[in-house]
Structure 1
Amino acid sequence: MRAFIASAIGVTCAAALVLPLAAPAGAAPDTTVTAKTETADPTEVSGSTQSLPLAPLPAASTRTTGAPTEGAATAERGLPRRDVRPFSLVGVVWNDADVELNGTVQVRTRATGTTHWSDWQELETHNAEHGADPGTAERDSGTVRGSTAPLWVGDSDGVEVRVSPEVTDVRDGGSGASVPLPDGLRLELVDPGKDPQQLPAAGPGAAADGGDSRAPSSEALVLPALSKAQTEVESEAEDDVAPGAKPYIGPRPSIITRKGWGADEKLRESAFVYTKSVKAAFIHHTATGNSYTCSQAASVLRGIYRYHVTSSGWRDIGYNFAVDKCGNIYEGRAGGVTKAVQGAHTLGFNADSMGIAVLGTFTTSKPPTAVVDAVAKLTAWKLGLFGADPSGSTTLVSGGGNRFKKGAKVTLKVISGHRDGFVTECPGARLYEKLGTARTGSARLQGR
C-alpha cells in the first residue's frame, strides 16, 4: 500500500443496489479468475476480491446462451456467463480515474447454489462525484482507478456482464460511431466476509462495548450513547472540543465502530489524514435499494469498503459515517470519530467537512423517520464539537468539480446534500427534502 503523510490535506453516491438475498449454499468451483484475498486468519473478518478482465463481445446474434463466442466483434466489452467463487457485490473499474465511461454497464448474477439468474441490472457509471479532491495525495497516489458504483446482489456464484459504449447522435453533429470505452476494464467481484459475531471469540482479551472514543482504531464494538452533560464532560476532558463550542454540543449517539461492523484494517492505509475543522456535513444516499435488512448493513459496508480500497484504489472507505434504514450509525473512514478526518465523499469539498451516507435509495422512496433522526443526532454531536450551527451556513473553498471551480469560495448550508456541492441526484429527492427537518432536530439537540 502506498504511504500517506498524516498531516496532508487532501464513491458514486450510488454506492450499491441491493437485490433480494439468496440462501447460502454450495458454490461452483472457479479456477480461472484472478483473485485477491487479503486475510486468512480465522479470528479476523475474511473476504476477497476476484478481478476479471473484460474482453470484446461477439455480435448479438452469436451471444445467445450456449452459443460459441466466435463471430463479428462489436464495440461492446463484457464477460459471458460463468461460474465464480461466491461474492455479494459487483462493480467495474478501469485504468484512468480521469476518463469517464460513456455508456451502460449491465450485469446479471446467479444466486449461490441455484440455477436462478437475475434480470439484467444496470450499474451507475458516473461515479466521478466521489473520491479524493484533485491535487491531494490520495488522488495523485497512482493507484486510483475509474469505477462504476458497485451493485449489491447478495450471495452469488455466477455472473455475466456487458458494457455498451454510447453512440454519437448524427442529429447532434455526431458520426454515429461508438464512443471509445476506457482502457483496462475489469469486473470486480467482492466477498465482504463474515460478520464479527460469526467469528471465533478472540479470547480473554476480547473487548466489550465501550472504550476510548478518540482512538483511531477503537477496540470497542459500539460506542455507547451519552447524555448531553456526559458528552460535554468527556469532550472537554479529552480536549475534543473547539474553543467556544460549548454549550452547543449535542449528546453523542450510539456508534457502531469499524471493529463492530468488521472493517479489515489491513486493507486501508495505515496513516490518517486530517483537515483543520468540520464546518459542514454532506448527506448522501448509497442507492443500495431498500430491501436489505439492518442485520445485513454491516456486510454492505464491508463490501463498499473493500471496493473503495482494493478495486478503486482509495486509501479507505470514502464516507466518514453511515446510517442504515433502522437508524443505526456506523463509523466510516478511520482516524477517530471525534476528529476532522478527511474523507472522499464529495469531490471538491472533502476538506473541512464530513460525509454521511444513508444506506438506501431515496429518489422516490421516503426515508424512515429513524434515518432523519439519526442524521440529526449525529450532526448535533459531531458538528457541535467544532462549534458549527446545524441550522446555519458556512463558507468552504472548492477543490474543483463540475459545479464550482477550484478555489471558489462557496456558501453552503452547514447540513447540505451532496447535490449542493456537485451536479448529481444524490442524496435522492425524498431524502433531500427531509434535510430541513434534520437541521431543525440537530439544532434542537445542541440546545439552540
Structure 2
Amino acid sequence: MDGWVGAWTGGRRAVHVGNVADFNAQFLDERTDPAQRERRLRQAHHYAGMATCYSPEPAALVLPAEVERDWIGWLARELAWGPVDLHSGVAPGETVARALERRPALAERLTRGGEPVLVWGRTAAQGEGPELATVRRYESKAAAHELFTALAPDHPGVRVPRQEHADGPRRAARRLTIRAARGLTTVVKSPHGVGGYGTVVAAPQEVFAAGGARALLRRLVREEVLPPGGALLLEEFVDGGPAGSDRLRDLTFDAVIGDDGRVHPVGTGEMAVDGTRYQGVTVGPGVVPPGVAATAERFGLAVGERLAAAGHRGWFDVDFVTDRDRRPAPTEVNLRLTGPAVAFVLRQRLDEVRGPGHLVRTLDAMPLGARLSQEALYAHLDRLRPRCARLGATVLPLIVTAGHEPEPTVGLALAAHSVEVLDAAEALVGAAHHALGRMFEALR
C-alpha cells in the first residue's frame, strides 16, 4: 500500500498501546511534586483512550484505564473493524511499561501475531538509540525553534517567531518585565509540555495586574500552568488579528516517516485552541485554504526530512499559528501521535469504508453537566446518536473514562460531509451535555 497508511502500518491491522503517560513522564520536571505527578498520570491515562484510533483498524488495544467493551463495539460497527483483542485497566496507577513488565504473558501476546505495534510516543521501553534521541531533542521547543530558523530562508511564506532563552525564573521575570514595559505580549514556554501545559500568553496588562512578572510566574507555577523552576523560553506573540468567524488561527501539518526515511504527508487541519490549551481539530476537504495548506505542507515536509536524517521514524506534526496575513508561523514539533493524528486516521477509515469526502472534528474534553458512570454515559450518547444522524453526522466516542472526574468530560469525534453539519452536531451535543446538570437537579 502506498502513501502514509502504507508507511504507518503497511496496510495491516495493528496493535495499539496507550502509553501517553509513559511518554509525558520523560519530560516532567524532576521538581514536580508527587500530587501533581499523580494528577498528570491520571489525565494522561484518560487521554490514552485515543489509542482506539491510532490506525485505521486495530487488532488489539492496550488501555491503562478500564474501558467497557461496548465502546469498542460502537466504534467497530461504525468503522467496520474485525474482532479487537481488548486489554483495558492494565495500569491504573502506574505507567504502561511498568504494568507490562509485570505481565510478560500479555507483552508476548501483543507481538505474537506479527502485527505492527503502535505507541503514542517512543520511550526507553522501545529501546534507546537514534530514534529516541531525536524525540528527546526535538520535542524541546528550543531545539524545534532552532530547526525552524535554519529552514526559514528557503520558505519565504513562513514566519518564524523570535525566541529568547532565560536560564531561570529570575532572568525570565526580568526579560518579561522589559517586554511588558514596551507593550509587548509574550508567549512564555517551558522547553517541554503537552496539550498547552507549560505554555502561557502573557499580555502586558496581565503582568502588571499580577503585581509584576515574578509574581505572575510564581502564580502560574502554583496553578500548574508552568513547571517549577528551570529554564523558560520567551517567544514573540504572533498577532492573528481580531477574532472572527473567518479567522484561521491554529494549524497542524501531520506526516509519517517510513522505515526507509521517506516523508509521507498526511494532511493539514485547523485546531481549536482555548488560550494555549488544545481542544480538538477539524480535518478534511476545504477546511484549510489551499494556499495556506500548501505553505504549511512544504515547510512541514522540510522539517520531516531533517527529522528523518536525525533518525526519527513514525508520526510527527508541526503546529502553526497564523499572522494577520495568514502566514503560518511554526511553534513546535511533536514527534509522536497527537489528537489531530486520530482525526486524520478516522477520516481515512471513513473514506475507505463509506466513500470519500468526510470531514472529522475531534472534541477532546467536552464538559458534561453531571458525573456519569460509563454505563450512564453510553446511554446518554446513544440517545444523541440518531439525533446527530438526522443532521448527517456520525458520533464516535474516544475518551470515555473521564466522566466521573470532579470536572467530568468526554472526548468525541464527529464526522460529516460539511463544516456546517459538524457545527450543528457539536452544538446539539454540547447542549445535551449541559442539560445533564439540569436533569439531575430536577431529581433532587
Q: Do the two structures share a fold, i.e. TM-score over 0.5?
A: no
Instruction: Select the structure with the greater relative contact order (CA < 8 A; seq sep ≥ 6).
Output: 1
Q: Could you state the TM-score of these two structures normalised by the residue count of structure 2? A: 0.28
Question: Greater helix share, 1 or 2?
Answer: 2
Q: Could you state the TM-score of these two structures normalised by the residue count of structure 1? A: 0.28
